[in-house]
Structure 1
Amino acid sequence: MTLIVVLLACLALAGIGVAAPTRPNIVFIMTDDQDRRLNSLAHMPFLQSELVAKGTEFTKHYTNQALCCPSRSTLLRGQTVHNTNLTNVSQPGGSYNKWVLSGQDKDYLPHWLNAAGYRTEYIGKIMNGYGLSNYNVKSKGWDWSDLLVEPYIDDYNLPVMSQNGQRPVFYDGFHQTDVIRIKALNRLNNLTSQATPFFLAIAPFTPHVGFQQDKPSHRPIPLQRHLEDFPNAKAPRTPNFNPPDKYQANAGGWVKDLLPMNNTAIDFADFVYRSRLQALAGVDEIVADVVALLEQKGVINNTYIIFTSDNGYHLGQHRMPAGKSLFYNEDTNLPFVVRGPGVPANVTSDIPSLHIDLAPTFLNIAGVPEADWPVFLDGRSVLPQWHDPKSSSAAGAAAGQGNSKESINIEYWGRAGIEAPSAGKLGSPFDSTTYKTIRLLGTQQSWVYTVWCSGEKELYNTAEDPYELVNLAQIANSTRLTSRLNALLMVTKSCEQNSCRDPWSLLKPDTGGPRLVSLTQAMDKAYDEFFANFVKVSFDTCLTIQSDTNETPYFPPLNELLGGGLGRAYRNATDVIKPAGGVRTLSTPNYYGTKAQRNASFKSLRAVSRPLTDAELAAQ
């Protein structure tokens, strides 16, 4: 018996209590529209030294939809977008009002963690559509929330936030990123002074496109102290940056019609890239200060710190000057770094995961038995992969060894736009944007297959063509492959629960062979007839909202699923959604976020704060 065991036994016999180890804390930092494929993480030195070097970076973490509100709903509910039905950032597809009307705000992550004994807090951007018109509809579940409100959310130098659903407060003379950092540190200081384990979400708006009165827009607005940073940075000239006609003409949807970017458009992409790096320098300060405070309070070794974004971003790839909303890697492959108990340091992992996996992972951290998790979860816990990130990879799945995350569903509804001054001249916003995508993440076999609402198809061998330039969909010898990918997409476009985690389980050829677990296995010629005759993914027309009748057929048929499928058994119908937001009455031409404000206190922030007046709130 070891000395420590003997000591503990003696203390117990003496009647002296021995405190059990505290369950881990969780600090979740999520940016808005941050790229992974364009090297933004490499320009964040504190992130590199404190999280990447002391934790694990997962290079194949994805979102189911490359747009803010849909992606955030999947994270908070652990469900894919077709099941939350929050399919866009504004009505009728999405928005905070739809989230509330659907009743999903009564049964999501903070409620579950509260029940597990965690204190839950949220600071920053919660969801599109939370604003002056509905701030008093408090975001349910959180023990403390301090949320950015529209229409000021994109005006970085006019920060307005609502604390716990109370009257919004204006923080005059401060930059929004500094406000979030100061508030987050204040709450973290409070949380680390209590014995209760906690979940703290810190969600800056950076590097989302912002607004600044009388200044160049269509870019994030950096803190004043970072306006001159990275003077020589340019958007990476990846092979798919402004590609020639031989590639572009074979794309699908609205992408194929984009003209080559001229020098003005290229210069704009470079300007936005520099602005994004400058803006992210403020987020890097959040990372530095959060880690320093956790170390100071002695809880760093019992705290998981997760860094990610809601979706990715492109700058010149496929001729798109700026934006998101597409299935390409730049838009859907996200920054994802984890540091915490049991997570090995300085490791890079290619194990695939999705935002829908985060809610079950957090429940796993909280010690909630899987039998007590919500039945409607589409994701899985990836905590074992965090602890052993080299144990398996997508390569195993491609080789037939089985891994449900070999297959990732990506989807989109609604209008899509180009975030650039010339957007209108390029045809933006675009209406015919709806598509269904299946992405396979094996290292031996790696594919992405998309069916647009127009009927156009795109197929890329991403193992050989990582920049997704050569569309193979029209090549004759791709038919056997696309028949398998079509069947997999038929399952994932309406999957629920286990069929999202393991879509191959629903594909059962009547050949008497073993259960299918991977694409490599499914490519056996014995299954040719089964897949050739499988129902095909299709749309009746191009709608901007999710409509089950427009997207028939389904596999399995929706009438065979609980509540008619598409998550409807676990949410309310949301046919009518009121517009949200408000009208700006505040303005400033100034840049804030000075060098002196880098160390500004919470007390100094409160000193310049004031509630919005009745007149400012009434201007709806």
Structure 2
Amino acid sequence: MVNQELGIRMNYVLPALLASYPLHGDDVTVKGPASHLTKCVVPICFGLGLQTQRPNIVFIITDDQDLHLGSLDYQPVVKKELAEKGTTFSQHYVTVAKCCPSRASLLRGQAGHNTNITEVGPPGGNYDKWLISGENEDYLPHWLTAAGYNTGYIGKIMNGYNTANYNKGPGGWTHIQTAVDGYTYEYNNVVMSLNGQTPISYPGYHQSDVIRAMAVDRIENLAGQANPFFLGIAPTTPHVELGPGKWPVPPVRYQNEFPNLKAPRSVNWNPSDTYQKQKVSWIKNQALLNDSTIAKLDGLYRARAQSLLGVDDIVEDVIAKLQEKGILNNTYVIYTSDNGWHIGNHRVSAGKSLHYLEDSNVPFIVRGPGVPVNKTSNLPGAHLDLAPTFLDIAGLTSDNAAYPPFLDGRSLLDNWQNPEVEPTQCPVNGGGHEVINVEYWGKGEEETPWGVIAHPNNSYKTLRIVRPDGGTYLYSKWCTGEAELYDTASDPGELTNLAINPNATTSRLISRLNGLLLAAKSCAVDTCRNPWQLLQPEPDRRAVDAQTNLTITCLEQALEPKFDDFFASIPQVAFHQCMPYQYRPNEMPYWPENVGLGEAFRNPTDNYQSSSPSGAKVVSNGTFGTAAQRNVTLSEILKTAKKLTPAQLG
């Protein structure tokens, strides 16, 4: 089909095929069976099974960016360069709706109950717990580096990486410039550590401009190397600055944008008592937001939109540099956030840490080889699926001895390249992919305009049934013993709690969802990818292997009346008390009882100690990110950069 000996270019040999393909990528050098060089468009090479230069991966992850408040509407570059030239996935979820545990889950490809990194500080977890657990020595960059990739990262990686533990840098990266606590959330006081070395202050510049300049400089360096690369870019935007009533701070050039912008008054914005009393735990006691609070929340919304324009600048320059180096069309560019965000939804003034759609369903856009352009897909995915996806892109598959044995996620690469494929009725995408598990341990954070309120009793186990063809639900069980059930197809605002006084039909549904939630909170590896494996009426067929011919493969089958007795026999999901961290005896029962919770793949961390920075703070005066600094280069920024002194390190 392709004349390898003559090295004929495929875009001349197969014009009809190329004309029908959604991406006309740059030519890249490939090797055919006869080991003679030829040329090929990247997606077509993949389709013909020819070996190509493996794609690069640029992974852009913001901090606390919403999907359902419409933040993407105020990012014209993300819309133009990513959404219109790639595919938006509307049903992508985090596994824990909070920064550090979400990032740990993403980097390890595991559910939160298997990483045991469950908070942003002790005792649940942070960077120190990540180190002590040994997970720092066995996660995504190690695997990609072993697969032949250059691995880089710029920005925030995990809460708790600070001036006291900076020299114990994140492992596995060939190049990493990491934001350092307590400067991570100070937009005009940038301090970062290069490869675990003494942190450096970059005075006079806004964080988004520093990260943009570093990212562009790094791509310039990586593009000249033989190996493909992975580059993570992680601005803090639009996270609030720390302190009572503080907001995200945009670059000066954007501080007057969107002057009349207000937070969207969606269906669950500041709801009436009729709906609020159906909530659980501390949420049901939230008072109506008053006019003063609402005015402040509108200001917060504007500040978030303004600050995200700095991220737009990062995206614009990264895309331009990839294009300049001739590698854009052989690079996957992924855009997402570590968790979502709410403002005024369910009467909670602002924040994250809840299981509702605003906090758990995040922006997710992919542009790259074989990804159709200007499409929106409702195929489901989660952050724990990203590590397997990146390994798939790198050519490291589960049948390789070097493949990590503990990954709970699945590769989404086929979804990215075939986003309009509708799942079959039952099973969905081969079984189990309808199930999204979101869990949480600790306190709920409400970031009011006057300071953070930490609400107790916020531990919960949740699952979503995500179906493009309807039949979608949110079911949760809280440490207080309360339950929630929402029919999210007919009730997208998640307002009417069907778990209160359920009728016979709803009770049958709850019995199935309880069993599925019990399996999901106990899962590992294959059973996380398809928890239905654990819910077979015949005990000898449970979790035999992923390909077993199962009796039950989706919710429709499970709801058949003949399975009533089986699901009635399954124990109820429960907490013995509300605790701020994961403790196995507190969360019994499990299904099966002898679950591993990832312990075979990490070190014990009982009573771990967290580092506490004590140095004198670097003082920053002024606000930066002027129009004149829009295109500032790293070489210019480095002219005034200064290492922290011993007194500043503490």
TM-score (norm 1): 0.94
Q: Which amino acid aligns with 1:439?
A: R
Q: Please give the residue correspondences for 1:155-166 in structure 2 after superposition, counting only pairs within 5 Å.
A: 155-166=186-197
Equivalent residue, structure 2, for 1:136 = 167
Equivalent residue, structure 1, for 2:312 = 284
Q: Is the 8 A contact 1:208 1:220 kept in 2?
A: yes
Question: What is the alpha-carbon distance in structure 2 between the residues aligned to residue 256 and residue 489 of structure 1?
Answer: 23
Q: Which amino acid aligns with 2:530?
A: D
Q: Secondary structure at the match of 2:399?
A: helix
Q: State yes or no: 1:151 paired with 2:182.
A: yes
Which digits, 9 at most, give the CA deviation of each residue in 1:186-227, with x for residues without a partner?
111100111210000000010011148xxx843111111110
Question: What is the alpha-carbon distance in structure 1 between the residues aligned to residue 449 and residue 517 of structure 2?
Answer: 36
From 294, 303, 311, the counterpart of 2:331: 303
From 270, 275, 279, the counterpart of 1:251: 279
Q: State yes or no: 1:120 paired with 2:151.
A: yes
Question: What is the alpha-carbon distance in structure 1 between the residues aligned to residue 186 and residue 339 of structure 2?
Answer: 20
Equivalent residue, structure 2, for 1:375 = 405
Which digits, 9 at most, give the CA deviation of each residue in 1:435-464, with x for residues without a partner?
100111013100001111010111100000
Q: Is the 8 A contact 1:35 1:334 kept in 2?
A: yes
| Cα pair distance change 1:193/1:432, threshold 3 Å | same
| Cα pair distance change 1:227/1:400, threshold 3 Å | closer
In the TM superposition, residue 15 of structure 1 has moved relative to its aligned partner by 9.9
Q: Which amino acid aligns with 2:7?
A: L
Q: Secondary structure at the match of 2:163?
A: coil
Q: State yes or no: 1:533 paired with 2:569.
A: yes
Q: Is the 8 A contact 2:428 2:434 kept in 1?
A: no
In the TM superposition, residue 260 of structure 1 has moved relative to its aligned partner by 0.3
Question: What is the alpha-carbon distance in structure 2 between the residues aligned to residue 406 and residue 56 of structure 1?
Answer: 20
Equivalent residue, structure 2, for 1:188 = 219
Question: What is the alpha-carbon distance in structure 2 between the residues aligned to residue 14 and residue 102 of structure 1?
Answer: 47
Question: What is the alpha-carbon distance in structure 1 between the residues aligned to residue 177 and residue 649 of structure 2?
Answer: 18
Say which is worse superposed, 540-549 or 16-25, in terms of deviation.
Answer: 16-25
Q: Is the 8 A contact 1:400 1:520 kept in 2?
A: no
Which digits, 9 at most, give the CA deviation of each residue in 1:451-499, with x for residues without a partner?
1101011110000001100111013222111000000000011210011
Question: What is the alpha-carbon distance in structure 2 between the residues aligned to residue 397 and residue 224 of structure 1?
Answer: 51
From 299, 307, 325, the counterpart of 1:271: 299
| Cα pair distance change 1:527/1:163, threshold 3 Å | same
Equivalent residue, structure 2, for 1:63 = 94
From 567, 582, 585, the counterpart of 1:549: 585
From 458, 463, 485, the counterpart of 1:433: 458
Which digits, 9 at most, give the CA deviation of each residue in 1:554-593, with x for residues without a partner?
10012xx4xxx10000000001332335245222341111
Q: State yes or no: 1:585 paired with 2:601.
A: no
In the TM superposition, residue 617 of structure 1 has moved relative to its aligned partner by 1.1
In the TM superposition, residue 7 of structure 1 has moved relative to its aligned partner by 3.4
Equivalent residue, structure 2, for 1:109 = 140
Q: Which amino acid aligns with 2:641?
A: S
Equivalent residue, structure 2, for 1:200 = 231
Q: Secondary structure at the match of 2:281?
A: coil
| Cα pair distance change 1:244/1:575, threshold 3 Å | same
| Cα pair distance change 1:455/1:13, threshold 3 Å | closer
Q: Secondary structure at the match of 1:283?
A: helix
Q: State yes or no: 1:615 paired with 2:641.
A: no
| Cα pair distance change 1:13/1:398, threshold 3 Å | closer
Question: What is the alpha-carbon distance in structure 1 between the residues aligned to residue 116 and residue 97 of structure 2?
Answer: 15
Q: Which amino acid aligns with 2:633?
A: S
Which digits, 9 at most, give the CA deviation of each residue in 1:525-556, with x for residues without a partner?
11111112211101111111101100111100
Question: What is the alpha-carbon distance in structure 1 between the residues aligned to residue 72 and residue 36 of structure 2?
Answer: 49
Point out where structure 2 has 5 or more consecutive residues left out of the alignment.
Answer: 10-30, 40-50, 542-548
Q: Is the 8 A contact 2:440 2:460 kept in 1?
A: yes
Equivalent residue, structure 2, for 1:33 = 64
In the TM superposition, residue 124 of structure 1 has moved relative to its aligned partner by 0.2
Q: State yes or no: 1:388 paired with 2:418.
A: yes
Q: Is the 8 A contact 1:150 1:581 kept in 2?
A: no
Say which is worse superposed, 19-28 or 61-70, in terms of deviation.
Answer: 19-28
Q: State yes or no: 1:468 paired with 2:494.
A: yes
RMSD: 2.1
Equivalent residue, structure 1, for 2:637 = 605
| Cα pair distance change 1:514/1:88, threshold 3 Å | closer
Say which is worse superposed, 530-539 or 200-209, in terms of deviation.
Answer: 530-539
Q: Is the 8 A contact 1:209 1:218 kept in 2?
A: yes
Q: Is the 8 A contact 1:33 1:68 kept in 2?
A: yes
From 389, 392, 397, the counterpart of 1:364: 392
Q: State yes or no: 1:24 paired with 2:73.
A: no
| Cα pair distance change 1:486/1:189, threshold 3 Å | same
Question: What is the alpha-carbon distance in structure 1 between the residues aligned to residue 381 and residue 239 of structure 2?
Answer: 24
Question: What is the alpha-carbon distance in structure 1 between the residues aligned to residue 313 and residue 470 of structure 2?
Answer: 39
Q: Is the 8 A contact 2:92 2:361 kept in 1?
A: yes
Q: Secondary structure at the match of 1:338?
A: strand
Question: What is the alpha-carbon distance in structure 2 between the residues aligned to residue 526 and residue 83 of structure 1?
Answer: 34
In the TM superposition, residue 405 of structure 1 has moved relative to its aligned partner by 1.6
Q: Which amino acid aligns with 1:615?
A: A
Q: Which amino acid aligns with 1:446?
A: T
Question: What is the alpha-carbon distance in structure 2 between the residues aligned to residue 67 and residue 227 of structure 1?
Answer: 27
| Cα pair distance change 1:298/1:264, threshold 3 Å | same
| Cα pair distance change 1:339/1:401, threshold 3 Å | closer
Q: Which amino acid aligns with 2:643?
A: P
Q: Which amino acid aligns with 1:390?
A: E
Identity of aligned residues (%): 48
Q: Is the 8 A contact 2:129 2:610 kept in 1?
A: no
Q: State yes or no: 1:576 paired with 2:607.
A: yes
Q: Is the 8 A contact 2:66 2:363 kept in 1?
A: yes
Q: State yes or no: 1:482 paired with 2:510.
A: yes
Q: Which amino acid aligns with 1:7?
A: G
Q: Which amino acid aligns with 2:647?
A: A
Query: Any runs of at least 4 consecutive aligned residues in structure 1 with deviations exceeding 3 A, and if so which?
Result: 1-9, 11-20, 396-403, 421-424, 510-514
Q: Is the 8 A contact 1:400 1:521 kept in 2?
A: no
Q: Which amino acid aligns with 1:612?
A: L
Say which is worse superposed, 55-64 or 520-529, in terms of deviation.
Answer: 520-529
From 115, 119, 123, the counterpart of 1:88: 119
Equivalent residue, structure 1, for 2:44 = none
Q: Is the 8 A contact 2:7 2:36 kept in 1?
A: no
Q: Is the 8 A contact 2:536 2:550 kept in 1?
A: no
Which digits, 9 at most, give the CA deviation of each residue in 1:330-373, with x for residues without a partner?
00001000000000000100000000100000000001132122
Which digits, 9 at most, give the CA deviation of each residue in 1:70-122, with x for residues without a partner?
00001100000000000000011011000010001111100100111000001
Q: Which amino acid aligns with 2:461?
A: K
In the TM superposition, residue 391 of structure 1 has moved relative to its aligned partner by 1.2
Q: State yes or no: 1:345 paired with 2:370.
A: no
Equivalent residue, structure 2, for 1:7 = 7
| Cα pair distance change 1:608/1:398, threshold 3 Å | farther
Q: Is the 8 A contact 2:63 2:235 kept in 1?
A: yes
Point out where structure 1 has 5 or more consecutive residues left out of the alignment.
Answer: none
Question: What is the alpha-carbon distance in structure 2 between the residues aligned to residue 127 and residue 13 of structure 1?
Answer: 44
Which digits, 9 at most, give the CA deviation of each residue in 1:269-324, with x for residues without a partner?
11111000000000011111000111111001100000000000000000011100
The aligned length equals 604
Question: What is the alpha-carbon distance in structure 1 between the residues aligned to residue 428 and residue 356 of structure 2?
Answer: 25
Q: Which amino acid aligns with 2:84?
A: A
